[in-house]
Amino acid sequence: MHAPLSVFLGTSVILLAIGLYGLLVRREMIRLVMALELIFHSGNINIMAFALSPAGIDALGVAAVIILIAIEACALAVMLAVMLNLFKVYGSLDVSKLRELRW
């Protein structure tokens, strides 16, 4: 027995709203990355919601979500490497301070 589609879509919208709020309000780069991850997971939940139909599970939707999770993990690794180098060079991950360093 599956939860209704409205539960999945409601959860997806809530995660999207929290992620967008985090992107717009926060200035710390690690929190921006976490907000981006929330937005990515919101999309994954949305895809899975439509892959789980009452007739059965759509294998294409599940495969798409698995591939997206792998791509997100690679993107997260790159973002963390960039943040580590920025912290080593500038000593801060505050986006407003890093903006002042532009030429």
Domains of the chain, first to last = 5-99 (1.10.287.3510)
Count the alpha carbons within 13 Å of 44 in the hemisphere toward its beta carbon: 16
* Average pLDDT score over residue span 35-57: 89
pTM of the full structure:
0.84
Label residue 22 by pLDDT band (50, 70, 90): very high
Say if CB 42 and CB 15 are below 8 A apart: yes
Distance, CA of 52 to CA of 65 (rounded, Å): 12
Mean pLDDT of the 77-94 span? 90
Mean pLDDT (the chain, rounded): 89
